[in-house]
Structures are given as structure tokens and as C-alpha cells.
A and B are shown apart, each in its own frame.
Chain A
């Protein structure tokens, strides 16, 4: 039985200013005369959204700004009503739309716990019994009797998160709440979320722009764009689709030779003329295969002779996590660049990236390591599965590390360069 059922949900907002009194009267007058009042342009924040969430599911909702994520959550909590369509929620909802909703500055932390708890629909006794736990998790023992207007923003968020996740409610709705608090607390929140999901089996709806967290926490992801459901399913796949779309948006119609493209730093001495990727068959392509050879091929235009430049190619994720760099600095004798066109090829015998979407960055330095050209996301490409079967767990991470398995055998042989006897012994055991 689905705990949340959403059918053909549509939410329309009127664009422009709130009507002036005069306009309202004009509208009323028109209606009295049996005519339609002048309509303002409508904007569909949600457009025919249909999906359902089973009990215990953890569903991530992602999408660009203005996709309708928060509107959807608002309808689910009952804060606002849909223009059309149905929304059936079968359980007590703890909304966490922006942590700290309903925290009152003049009240102390303890008073706020009671206030927030009752707002979430709990009795005094239940709150009292959970009080210690909440304070402990929020790490606010010292400050719990201080008015929270004196709290730092991190403290408020910690308190809000702690209240909403400690008090029992069947459905937890979180809008961009993990992005706050210091690193240690984020880690703690993350663990708490995983705990809620695994041991308590609570249904959670999570909106976040932190793809890594969403991908890791959720069992399913819904991608919204312009109020419509674009994709709904496996986290990795949906995230990759979203990354692909965002990269396209970022890239626009980026033209390498244009020279005036965005996000580029260049001195003008060297210009990237063209960049292409060759697959294992030597054909130009934007889709590489994991574990197969690949060539990065670039043509650089130089306005003069450049002695021993250093070329860097690097892979990064669409959200700019650097994965690896290939640097020509490791060459003993770096060739010179001639005036005019120069071809640079970087051969990767076995592409170690796991399937997904990646970006390529390119840099050229002169021999004093002065930057002459640099750009990120210059090319976006996808990596397709190679020969290794892809299991669900293997899809986490970026790199496919070459390895072998020996299970229940004593035949582990380490290479000669491992000299430490104790290490060999412990491994052999």
C-alpha cells in the first residue's frame, strides 16, 4: 500500500503582482455582468505530476531551481493546495521544509523543543521523554536554556534537525537540510538519516542539490524540471541524467575555437583549437567504454614558438570533483610547441572510470609553470559499461580499480617489490 499517492498534480500560480483593490473590483464587476474577469498569466509550478511512494522508501527529489521541488513538498505537507489533481498522504508528516521552521527566537532551546514538537503533532509527554535525546544529538547541553536568537545559525539548524528526526512521525520531508552544520555534524546527520532509513523504516522525501548525498541515501530519485517528472527510478541513472542536462546547460553551445567562451583563463599565447575523444576503434565519440583504450586528442594554436610546455588533461565529475590528472610533466624531455597548430594526444590504455558522466579539463603551462591556458568542463562525455558486469554496489564511486579476488585459496603471491616480511605474512594469513 502506497503511503503517498500523487495523481496528475498541477499547481498554478498567477504571474505578476498581487491584484490591486481596483483590479479586484473590476474583476468582481466583470463577473457580475456575467463576463470573465481579466486573467493574469498563469505559471505552472507543477504540471501533471504523478508518482507514488511506498512505505519505507527513501525518495530523493532533484532538479534545477524552479523545477517545482519545494512546491511539491508543500502540497505533500498540506501547506498549500494543488490547483488540480489528487494527493493522498497516509501518515503523520514531519515537514522539515527549511530546518528551523517554527523556531521562535525569544524562546529558549528547551521551550522551542516543546513548541516545535506540538506543532508536529506530539503530546507533551512524548516530547518530555525525547527531550534528553534531542538535546544530546544537537550537542546543545550548555545552551539549551538560552533564547535561540542568540544561537549561531549552525546551532539552530542542529536543533531543528534533531527535533524533526528524533520525534516519531511516519513521513519525514526534508528540503535542503543536510547542507548545513559543520563537517562533523553533517556526518552525524548523514548517519542519523541512514539509521532512520535502515532501522526504523521511515518514509523519507529528500530535496537536495547535493547529488552525492541524494544518490547515496535514496533508494529512488525523481527528477523534476519545469514542473514535470523527467525521470523516476534508479538513483545513479537519474543523477547521471541530471548531470548530463546540467552540463549541457552550462556548456550551452560552447565553441572551443571561439576564444571568448566562459570559464576559461588564457593568455592568448596558446588557444585550444579543437578537442576530441577517440574510442577503442579510433573513432571520434562522446561515449567511451569502461576498461577500454581511449585517446584524448587536442589541437593547440600557438602564436609563437613555445619551449617545453606542459599539458594537463584531467577528469572531473559534472559537479567538479577532480578525479584524476594526466600531466605531461612526467616526460623527461618535453617537446616544444611550434608556431601554428600542434597536435597533442594522450593515450589511456584502459579507461578506469566507472559508467557515468564526466567532464574533461585542459591546461597548458609554460616551462616556468606559468598558466597559459586553462578550462574546465571543456568536454563532457559519458562512460558506458565495459565487459565487467555492473552490480548495484559497483556503481558507487568513480574509479574501477584493477584487482583480483582469491577466496578460500592459499595462492596469494605478492610481487617481489613487497619486502616487508610481516606484511607478507599477515596478508598470507
Chain B
């Protein structure tokens, strides 16, 4: 673990340069520039708000648009970074066939570049909060941890995905679709409190309720989104009951995903 970080540290300059290249290339000939990046969570917020006006989702005292945008912020970051990261190895086939450096730099860089868009989402969130006259609480110190955690979750999926994608390009196409579906299993459109109410308070699934709730929180995004909303909007401390199942799962799966990637990487240049 420490050896991995040490090796990556020696390549920090390469990673920053590659990340900078990615960002420059992404926005060089786009006249709307980085502005286009904000459209996605913003549009989704609008759509969800409209949908909510028909079905009615209880969000407590927090206005629905800001709550949902606060959910979409970590969610979009996760989704975009995982998608970019899965395709990063294949996208850099030219480099892979010609020059050697640890291949893990590609997915890692892909995730890093998404922090740029993330900072813009934060700017928008700030606008939302000013509009609704809300202020983040002192618990917001948890935010950096949450973001690193989100990046790690994204890597857990994308390392193994990127490696598989070299062999089977279907993975690069299918994974984003799968992640899209995962959104409905995450508290994006609805707050986690509704799930909690249904399963824990009302025991809707009978004896299975607690198990189902744990299963739900096994999705790291459930914990991430809920905690983000808690510390930024509700002024509550993180609910570790929600955080730990996903966190443990990530801690177990990330090394596995990395190991698979390392095993596959020796043959990237031959197969790609």
C-alpha cells in the first residue's frame, strides 16, 4: 500500500502534466468551454424538481432543488470520473504501445481531472445555498474526506473496468449504463431519510428490513451522498451507521481491483 503510493509519488509530475493535457484538450476547441460541464447536474436538478412536483417527495425543511443538487454533486463526480477512468487506458493506446510508465497513472489521472468540474459544481452549490440563505456547518470539514473517498470508490470500479475494457470494449460501453442504473439505488432523487423511514421505522420488509437497509448502504454512494447533505445542508455530523458498510466494501475491493489491473497491465500493449 505504502509502496504503491511511493511509486505514484515519483510520477506526480507526469500525472499533473497528463491531467493538465486532458483538461486542455477537453476544452480547447469548445467555445462554451468548461461551462458545458455544469449543464448536466443543473439540468438533472431541474428535471427532478419537476418530477417531484407530481409525485411528492418529503425532504423535511430543506428545499428540494438544493437537496437534490447536493446529491448530484458527489454523484456526477463519481459517475463522470468512473466513466472517464474506464476508458482512459484504451484512449491512450498510442502512448501505451510506445512508452512505459505505470499504467495505473491513466485511470488515476482521469479521476483527478474530474476535480476541475467538481470545483465548478461547488461554485453552483454555493449559489444555490446563497439563494436559499443556507450556510454550511462546522461539520463541513468532512467534505475533503468525502471527496477522496468518492474518488476511491470510482477507482474501485474503474481500475478493474479499465483493465477489462482493454480486452473487451463492451465494458467501456456497458459500465456507464450500469452506473446510471445505480443512481436509482442511491439517494439522489429521494433523500436517504425516506429509505430509513420505510425500512427501519415502518419495518416495511418485515424481518428483512434491517438486512435490506444494510444492503442499501453497502452502496458507498448512499453514505457519501447522505453525509454530504448532512454536513453541508442539515448541519448534522456524519451518520457512521450509513457510512461504514460501503466504506468496508471499498476497502476490501479496491486492493482487489488494483491487483487485477496490475496483473492485466503487462499485456495491455499486446492486446490493445
Contacts and interface: CB of A to CB of B under 8 A. Distances in A.
A115 interface: yes
Interface in B215-272: 266-267, 269-271
Chain A CB within 10 A, most for which of B28, B266, B270 = B270
Nearest to B167: A18
A106 B29 contact: yes
B33 interface: no
Contacts of B100: 77-79, 95
SS class, residues of chain B in contact with chain A:
helix
A184 interface: no
A104 B29 CA distance: 14
Contacts of A18: 167, 271
A89 to B, nearest CB: 10
B174 interface: no
Give chain B's interface residue range (CB within 8 Å of chain A): 20 to 34
Given A13-B270, A74-B269, A118-B13, A104 B98 contact: no
B13 A101 contact: no
B31 interface: no
A106 B98 contact: no
Contact of B168 (A21, A81, A111): A21
Interface in A111-127: 111, 114-115, 118-121, 123-124
A97 B25 contact: no
Nearest to A12: B270
A285 interface: no
A119 B99 CA distance: 8
B94 interface: yes
Contact of A106 (B13, B24, B271): B24
B99 A79 contact: yes
A371 interface: no
21 contacts: A13-B270, A21-B168, A77-B100, A79-B100, A80-B269, A81-B267, A95-B98, A95-B99, A97-B99, A98-B98, A101-B98, A101-B99, A106-B25, A106-B28, A107-B21, A107-B24, A111-B21, A114-B17, A118-B14, A119-B17, A124-B13
Interface of A: 13, 18, 21, 74, 77-81, 95, 97-98, 101-102, 104, 106-107, 111, 114-115, 118-121, 123-124, 147
